[in-house]
Structure 1
Amino acid sequence: MVQALLNVVLPVVLVAGVGALLARRFTLSQDTLGKVSLNGLTPALALSSLLGTTVRLGEGLHLATAYFVLALSGALLARLAAARVPSATRRAVMASVAIGNNGNFGLPIALFALGQPGLDQAVVIFLCSVLLTFTLGPLLYGSAGGARAGLRAVLRLPVVWCIAAALLVRVLHLPVPLGVRRGIDLLGQAALPMVLLSLGIQLGQAGRLALTPPVLTATGLRVLAMPALALALGLGLGLRGLPLQGLVLASAMPTAVNAFLLAREYHADADTVASAVALSTLASLLTVALVVAALPLIGRLG
């Protein structure tokens, strides 16, 4: 566990810490950084990873199915755990548990913990999480457009079209000019440090935590229950080896910042989600280290 803290979690903390310090010293625009990451760097990372990935189509679909089952199971578990709170807060707890930070937290952790093959698995999960966030999120928060509006939002994201382009290139075995590939790779390499800086800036600009029972429930389920649930579901759905490790590691990620952004946009219980994001991020520094330490054992199961 100490090795996991030093070799996997510490690099993430250091880069995010720089972002938090910058946020304290300067007035920085989260919207600008978010747009650069979401519309410029992350699509390049997805394109670069899919063009060079060793993940087979069948394996990727298997992993994606397991991830969606896990997220929906987490939302159901949260609904049961928060059954006695008001509807708006219950939906906030459900979103906080179901929508994990598989982007600016999950991708670098997967790279440090499992290497490039692990990053390939994490990219598959991240792409699924984008789809889940912008469809399940609005549906849970009760937006007027529901899942249809969320699906339209997904289709407007450049990362979706980069995925489609990469799959088309691979299926048709189309050549990619060396200069173009190098440019894509350079942009993709910039994605992980940028998203970590963005995470640190978001945490540095965050207000005080509200340690209410719903926040504690959401955080506990997100960082403690979800890894155990992922292991059980992954084994039950036939995942073994690296895909199982990738699923369990992804499940240990904290609540995604996008869950808060959507809650604010749809006038849901944003305060509960904001505190769940911050608290689960802090708590996950320890729980992620525990999961990383257990990954060798998880890889040998089955």
Structure 2
Amino acid sequence: MNLSLTVLEIVAPVFILAATGFGWVKFGFEYRIQFVTRLAMTLAVPCLIFTALMKTSLDKGTLGTFLLASLAGYALIALVAQGLVRFTGLDRRTYLAPLIFGNTGNLGLPLALFAFGEAGLGYGVVVLAVSSVLSFTFGIYLVAGQGAGRKVLKEPMVWATLLGGLFLWQDWQTPQFLTNALDLIGQMAIPLMLITLGVAVARLTPGKISRAVALSLAKLLICVAVGWGLGLIFALDKVAFGVLVLQLSTPVAVTSYLLAEKFNADSEAVAGMVVVSTLMAVVALPLLLALVV
């Protein structure tokens, strides 16, 4: 009973905020998703990442090990997903990136924070940073057939991660008034991302639902297995282990749909995976949390 209540306390705020965004659109209210997304990704999320890294009490060596585990996780998931796409004869440009990358920002960070506190947030931003860099390089290459390395250098999240890592390494701190301001801005990030996730899902037109169900289930099983195995191999502590499994297992990100639409892949099929995997996460993530919390 206590475990059920703990899981409910973790997931309820996440899905209530996402449902708020979903309902907002269904009631016909205006939501300028491009503006809100730019505000979140250009200002709020970078501030959250920077302050989380700067203020974390986690050991530098432990974070380094976790970084390697995250990189290994995406490498293994990519290999297995490539094999799945090749075996089933699916279009690589459409399906490979959604099978690899999950919603480590909108959904993963809140879950890491609510489940494991500030330590979980510290680990969560590491996975988000790895996922973001890979998405804007390898992910774009998979969909467009060309790299986008320069785009990474324009992403505030990347610079916030590098700067936060530098401050962590050197044990530097910003002046308290600046830290307070950055904290306030960063506190916008999680509510904005969750509400925007609900809005985005409400506006998608999903296609090829039966295939989306099968692939979403396959993605979930692959990611849980990879995260669990690497957590044991790298001997991660309970918090790091839980965050790695959760972050790798998050549903398909809306970013995958936007990339598919931009580079003329089958965006309707990817929209189906976003919607189905997100709905699947409503059941799967609480069950997963019960195992790792």
Report the TM-score, using the length of structure 1 for normalisation: 0.89
**Match of residue 234, structure 2, among 226, 233, 237:** 237
Deviations 1:148-197 (A, max 9, x none): x1x21111011222223223334444442211110000011111001111
User: How much is the aligned-residue C-alpha RMSD, in angstroms?
Assistant: 1.9
TM-score scaled to structure 2, two decimals?
Answer: 0.92
Q: 1:224 aligns with which of 216, 221, 224?
A: 221
Match of 1:203 in 2: 201
Distance 1:171 1:116 in 2: 18
Cα distance per residue 1:81-111 (max 9 Å; x no partner): 2325556x23432211210111010011111
Which of 33, 51, 55 is the matching residue for 1:52? 55
Partner secondary structure for residue 82 of structure 1: helix
In structure 2, the partner of 1:299 is: none
Task: Look up the match of 1:188.
Answer: 186
CA distance in 1, matches of 2:166, 2:181: 19
Tell me: CA distance 1:76–1:4, structure 2 relative to 1, closer, same or farther (3 Å): farther
Percent same amino acid at aligned positions?
A: 29
* Counterpart amino acid of residue 165 in structure 1: L
C-alpha separation between the residues in 1 aligned to 2:47 and 2:166? Answer: 15
Q: In 1, are the aligned partners of 2:205 and 2:268 still within 8 Å (CA)? A: no
> One-letter code of the match for 1:101?
N
Would you say 1:156 and 2:165 are equivalent positions? no
Structure 1 residue 50 displacement after superposition: 1.0
Give 1:184's aligned amino acid: L
Aligned equivalent of 2:66: 63
Distance in 1, matches of 2:72 and 2:266, equals: 25
State whether residues 96 and 218 of structure 1, in contact with CA within 8 Å, keep that contact through their aligned partners in structure 2: no
What SS does structure 2 have at the residue aligned with 1:83? helix
Q: Which residue of 2 aligns with 1:300?
A: none
5+ long unaligned stretches in structure 2: none
Post-superposition shift, 1:112?
A: 1.3
Partner of 2:41: 38
SS at 2:187 equivalent: helix
1:132 aligns with 2:130: no
C-alpha separation between the residues in 1 aligned to 2:197 and 2:120?
Answer: 21
Would the aligned equivalents of 1:16 and 1:198 in 2 still touch at CA under 8 Å? yes
Question: Counterpart of 2:174 in structure 1: which amino acid?
Answer: V
Which of structure 1's runs of 4+ aligned residues deviate more than 6 A?
Answer: none
Structure 1 pair 240/92, CA: closer, same or farther in 2 (3 Å)? farther
Q: Report the more deviating stretch, 120-129 or 91-100.
A: 91-100
- Mapped to 2, the partners of 1:90 and 1:5 lie a distance apart of 36
Q: Deviations over 1:205-241 (max 9, x none)?
A: 122443142x234201222331122111221233333
- 1:1-302 paired onto structure 2 within 5 Å: 2-3=4-5, 5-24=7-26, 25-85=28-88, 89-143=91-145, 145-146=146-147, 149=148, 151-213=149-211, 215-296=212-293
Q: CA deviation at 1:290?
A: 0.9
Whole-angstrom distance in 2 between the partners of 1:97 and 1:154: 21
Alignment length, in residue pairs? 290
CA contact (8 A) 1:210 1:275 kept: yes
Describe the shift of the 1:177–1:71 C-alpha distance in structure 2 as closer, same or farther (beyond 3 A): same
Confirm or deny: 8 A CA contact 1:81 1:217 kept in the other structure. no
